[in-house]
Chain A
Amino acid sequence: DTGVSQDPRHKITKRGQNVTFRCDPISEHNRLYWYRQTLGQGPEFLTYFQNEAQLEKSRLLSDRFSAERPKGSFSTLEIQRTEQGDSAMYLCASSVDGARGTDTQYFGPGTRLTVL
């Protein structure tokens, strides 16, 4: 039984470049969440999907951010024209919705982004 996986684990990029992260949820988990965590802070919600539908987006998710979950399985988070303020740990979590299970969110190891 594999957990949530994320790729890459670390990404260093120059300001202005585009980056894309991938998250593979626990199999059969129909909900997928993205969070961002900066140093010394708790994770902050960005967006979440139920199956392939993006149901909620935080105000933190500026126009430069886009997330997809095309087939209701893995998800990608893209940041265009990165800024130094985007440097953070990007965490993915998955769960089974309440009607089908306990709905507890299980987290992946995160992708640490550094923008130079």
Chain B
Amino acid sequence: AQKVTQAQTEISVVEKEDVTLDCVYETRDTTYYLFWYKQPPSGELVFLIRRNSFDEQNEISGRYSWNFQKSTSSFNFTITASQVVDSAVYFCALTPNYGGSQGNLIFGKGTKLSVKP
């Protein structure tokens, strides 16, 4: 069975604080993709990052960074120097990798991040 767990339901921080969103996944597939999406109050899911299970390099994009650890089945997301505009629900998702092609996404329940000024 495949499953994504986001144990943090809600997090509240003050602007400029760093915050880490946790994601733990379960899968029996040997190859898979992991994703993070952002869902602002407007409702549209915005793609942030995709990571192939073969690639365990961490990634940094501006204030965002991702830590992929296959040994602990975790794919955590850190926002450095948070801003009010980062307030949203963040979803971690998993899909099997079928020879380079993906299947449907399996989402966690999301973490609601509130950044206060």
Q: Which residues of A contact B (CB under 8 A)?
A: 33, 35, 40-45, 48, 56, 58, 89, 91, 93, 95, 97-99, 102-110, 112
Q: Which of A41, A48, A112 contacts B43 (CB 8 A)?
A: A112
Chain A: CB-nearest residue to B98:
A98
Most chain A Cβ neighbours within 10 Å, of B4, B42, B104: B104
Pair B100/A103 contact, Cβ less than 8 Å: yes
A102-B50 in contact given A91-B45, A108-B44, A109-B44 (Cβ < 8 Å)? yes
B66 CB within 8 Å of chain A: no
Q: Which of A42, A48, A89 contacts B91 (CB 8 A)?
A: A42
Most chain B Cβ neighbours within 10 Å, of A43, A91, A104, A109: A43
Pair B104/A33 contact, Cβ less than 8 Å: yes
Beta-carbon contacts of B78-117 to A below 8 Å, as 1s and 0s? 0000000000000101000011111111111110000000
Pair A45/B44 contact, Cβ less than 8 Å: no
B64 CB within 8 Å of chain A: no
State the CA gap A4–B103 with chains docked (Å).
19
Pair B100/A99 contact, Cβ less than 8 Å: yes
Pair B98/A40 contact, Cβ less than 8 Å: no
Q: Which of B102, B104, B108, B110 contacts A98 (CB 8 A)?
A: B102
Q: Which residues of B contact A (CB under 8 A)?
A: 4, 35, 37, 42-47, 50, 91, 93, 98-110
Residues of chain B with a CB closer than 8 A to A43's CB: 45, 91, 105, 107
Q: Which of A41, A89, A105 contacts B109 (CB 8 A)?
A: A41
Pair A44/B107 contact, Cβ less than 8 Å: yes
Residues of chain B with a CB closer than 8 A to A97's CB: 101
Chain A: CB-nearest residue to B101:
A98
Chain A nearest CB from B44 CB (Å) reads 5
Residues of chain A with a CB closer than 8 A to B103's CB: 56
State the CA gap A31–B45 with chains docked (Å).
17
Residues of chain A with a CB closer than 8 A to B107's CB: 42-44
Q: Which of A42, A45, A56, A91 contacts B108 (CB 8 A)?
A: A42
Pair B44/A103 contact, Cβ less than 8 Å: no
Chain A nearest CB from B43 CB (Å) reads 5
Chain A nearest CB from B51 CB (Å) reads 11
